[in-house]
Chain A
Amino acid sequence: MFAFIKKNLSVVIIITLLLAITCWWKATSPATKQNPQPKPLVVGMMSGWPPFMSVNSQGEYEGYDVDVAKQLAQKLNRPLIIKDLGSVQTVLIALEQGTIDIAMSGFDNTKKRMETFNMVRYTTRESTETSVVFWQQIPQSIKALKDCINANMTICVEPGTSQEKYVDSFTGAIKKQVPSISDMVMELRFGKVGALVLEPRVSERICKQVPELVVLKEPLPAEFAIYGEGIALKKQNIDLAKQVQQAVTALIQDGTLLELEKTWLTQDDAS
């Protein structure tokens, strides 16, 4: 084989180059080239974030955001392109650059986000409490998050969330930012952190999957409350924001969103 390669080095180089160029050419977004009319609705999401978006065992994208995006595209009468951008940072960069029209990743409707983006609320539930999650048992001396901080416990939070801001509001809080829920559970399981601070909806879901987790709930002060999740659009994209708002309102009125919420976000209520 080596002798063959040696004898035909230039041929091998040309073939590999041609192969690489062909595959690259095929892989460059063909959708934008083929269907210029009507303009597709490009939605940026992040997989690995159930129940909003994940890959099922058949390798297909599924989740609340996927279904809502389909409904939105239908209402706006535009073909849908879902872009899995892998992480929150890349979703936000793509939104800023305009390579996606809207971003959906179960973004909390926080004050800061509402100032930065056009946020269109697309879930109905509000979070007025937070979950402090422990491994196997709640230490006896702990009655609230404040006690964890007084006990110099490291608190694990998801960066950029209301929960993180709530932890920051305590002086002397030792926090660790971990961007994935599964990694947060690993941190707790192996004693790297003392507790997780999570949104109740998320903690309910993972407690079903990991029964060793125990939850202490505490009310959130009004300034940290989450007013549902929102679809993010660029501030300048006023026209599309209006259209999306109208479409979401229509989906709420005809009960579609509530039905999807029951399917994906509040499975207990549905069953």
Chain B
Amino acid sequence: MINVLLQNLPLLLSGAAVTVQLWVLSLSISLVLGTLLGIAESTSSNTPWLVQQTLRIITRLLRAIPFYLQLLIMYFVVPLCTNMQLSAFAASVLALGICSSAYVSQIIRGGITAYDINLWEMSQLLGYTRLQALRYLVVPQVFRTNLLALSGEVDQLIKTTSVCSTIGVLETMGITRNIIAREMNPIAMYISAAVMFVVLSLAWSCVVTIIQRRITRA
């Protein structure tokens, strides 16, 4: 068992590296898009009613459709509609990022509406422009108060990357499945894959703890 593990460790690590790439890239899309969607969706943001409702329908759809189906749509249907070929990796990054942004948007939206006072009105009183209000008041406040909820979504995102192996992305689970098929040593390999995910999750927890400490200190 140990021999099989040692022999395949570089391959497993390469899978973990792909998982990290998928995670970091999709996280960038998720946070940026999710924040913008969340702000636009919140009732106090002065976004036109029609735009708000359209965005709510889109985020509702994204949350309702299973991620596996979204991945298949991104890989097979989107290239058909846009006449643009997407590699499995690119499709996975986009699908993960867009799917996760729907959840992030709800966290942000909830964070904004949770304030008793209207953050936008307050920023107006302080003489901020809308962009300044976003930069100095709304986004920092909402991220600060919803850090743990966001951290949970980011944790979920790491685990969701494993679905991408179904379209041929050789991330941790894809590589693990390949090694198992070759070596027929499933338990050891599944445990190794689990350890990889735990390590990634713990690393993320450390980052969140550091950010939390800094916020508390500030």
Contacts and interface: CB of A to CB of B under 8 A. Distances in A.
Contacts of A35: none
Contact of B168 (A6, A56, A90): A90
B22 to A, nearest CB: 10
A59 B9 CA distance: 11
A32 B85 contact: yes
Given A1-B214, A2-B218, A185-B184, A90 B140 contact: no
B29 interface: yes
Interface majority SS (helix, strand, loop, mixed), chain B:
helix
B1 interface: no
A24 B90 contact: yes
Given A97-B76, A185-B184, A85 B167 contact: yes
Q: Across chains A and B, which 4 residue pairs bring their CB atoms closest together, nearest first? A: A86-B168, A209-B184, A84-B168, A16-B28
Interface string A172-187: 0000000011110110
Given A48-B178, A57-B8, A84-B170, A20 B28 contact: yes
B130 to A, nearest CB: 13
Contacts, number: 131
B192 interface: no
Interface string B27-51: 0110110000000000000000000
Contacts of A240: none
Q: Give the size range of B's interface with the partner.
A: 35 or more
Contacts of A238: none
Interface of B: 7-8, 10-11, 14, 21, 25, 28-29, 31-32, 72, 75-76, 79-80, 84-90, 93-94, 97, 131, 135, 139-140, 165-170, 174-175, 177-184, 186-187, 210-211, 214-215, 218
21 contacts: A13-B32, A19-B25, A20-B28, A20-B97, A24-B25, A24-B93, A48-B178, A49-B181, A50-B182, A56-B182, A85-B88, A85-B167, A86-B88, A86-B167, A87-B166, A90-B76, A93-B76, A94-B76, A99-B76, A99-B85, A182-B181
B184 A99 contact: no
Contacts of A86: 88, 165-169, 174
A90 to B, nearest CB: 5
A59 B11 contact: yes
A28 B184 CA distance: 34
A28 B84 contact: yes
B11 A57 contact: yes
Given A48-B178, A57-B11, A182-B186, A6 B140 contact: yes
A29 B214 contact: no
A23 B93 CA distance: 10
A54 B182 contact: yes
Interface string A109-124: 0000000000000000
Given A29-B86, A55-B175, A99-B79, A181 B167 contact: no
Interface in A1-49: 1-3, 6, 9-10, 13, 16-17, 19-20, 23-24, 27-29, 32, 46-49
A206 interface: yes
Given A57-B8, A86-B166, A182-B186, A50 B28 contact: no
Given A24-B93, A27-B90, A47-B174, A182 B180 contact: yes
A167 to B, nearest CB: 22
Q: Which of A27, A84, A85, A181 has the most CB of B within 10 A?
A: A27
A78 interface: no
Contact of B186 (A1, A84, A183): A183
Q: Which of B80, B182, B183 has the most CB of A within 10 A?
A: B182
A185 B166 CA distance: 20
B85 A48 contact: no
A20 B140 CA distance: 22
A210 B183 CA distance: 9
